[in-house]
Amino acid sequence: MRSRSLFAIALFAGMAAVGAAQSGAGREGAQGRPAPLEPHPSTQLPEHKVTAEQLLKWEKELSNWGRWGADDQRGALNLITPQKTKSALLLAKEGVYASIHHFPEVKTTIDNNNMNVEFKHWNTTVDPKTGQPRGALDAITFAIHDGGDTHMDALCHYGVEGSKGPGKTVLGFNGKPQELLPEGCGSYAVDKMGKGYITRGILIDMPLLKGVKWLEPRTPIYVADLEAWEKFAGIKIGSGDVVFVRTGRWAMRNEKGPWNAAREIAGLHASVLPWIKQRDIAVLSGEGVVDAQPSGTPWNRPIHSIAISIMGVPMIDNSYLEDVAAIASRLKRWEFMLSWAAMQVPNGTATPFTALATF
């Protein structure tokens, strides 16, 4: 019970830290917060610029509320149908696989152990007098939303931006109030979203497409980039797919060291939101957050905000895609069978995502 309580404490503390980071990142103030970063210049061009008015309009136009019933709590995961799963099984041709999970590191860096929760791993049988273990039992605490942990956000993780304001009830997916609890959230928590899935995974390898080791932080990815990748890879992203966008975060980190990837990273630009809805994607993933940071829009993370709370599309943050990319490049095949079992964190705002990509 002690281990479960500590895990719940870590979950809540991580959630609170995320909220603080999202509301305060990029401002210079009394707390010494950093000054705002300039977004990539292309995000301000007329053909790419996304205004607050447009984002609010998309909250209405791109909605999946009620699509799977007023009380549904799985959102776009419903697109992973039995037929979709059966077709995904046929993609396991070579019998080789790679993990997509990156576990939080014990060492604290600027992009790891950053949720105000101490990473701790200890043997629970240690004799307090001798300091020696009496058995092989252990426990661990870490924040699920940690910048080094691959995790799937629950549908309760983000609220509708258009419902926020003094005296207002913040809405979540399906138009239900965002129900925040001390231990996480009530409805639309991760333990309400299904125990596991098998579907088609798609890797979008942007550095490979552009002939670079990695995309520089702040680089936005537009619809034209996504469709250029489809042409390169000979695939078309469709209903029920889980899409992983490789930007080269881990390759850059391995060569240059860590940086504040939560604040500055390549990723999807807000203008791809209608495309995401059109393709009926089940889940979206990036190597940090999915959104380009800074976003170049009035909202900090518009992909998260609209995909989760409006479309019901869960996000997978901090996916480790180096091993998957190596296999896909060798086989010249960027679609695979993706399988995962979801840790049933009670009232969880997220769960560690320990999926396998099988080719």
Helix (H, G, I), strand (E, B) or coil at 357: strand
32 inside domain = no
166 inside domain = yes
149 inside domain = yes
Range of the domain at 256: 44-102+145-358
User: How do 196-205 and 180-181 pair as beta strands?
Assistant: unpaired
128 inside domain = no
137 inside domain = no
What's the pLDDT score for residue 34?
77
227 inside domain = yes
Give yes or no for a cis peptide into 166 (omega within 30° of 0): no
Q: How crowded is the C-beta side of 213, counted as CA atoms within 13 Å?
A: 7
Split at pLDDT 50, 70, 90, the class of 24 is very low
CA–CA separation, 295 vs 293, rounded Å? 5
> How many domains is the chain partitioned into structurally?
1
Q: What is the CATH number of the domain that holds 276?
A: 3.50.30
64 inside domain = yes
pLDDT (tens digit per residue) in 227-247: 999 999 999 999 999 999 999
In the predicted structure, residue 18 carries a pLDDT above the cut 50: no
Helix (H, G, I), strand (E, B) or coil at 210: helix
Q: How crowded is the C-beta side of 222, counted as CA atoms within 13 Å?
A: 11
Burial of 315 (0-12, 13-18, 19+ CB in 10 A): buried
287 inside domain = yes
pLDDT (tens digit per residue) in 154-172: 999 999 999 999 999 999 9
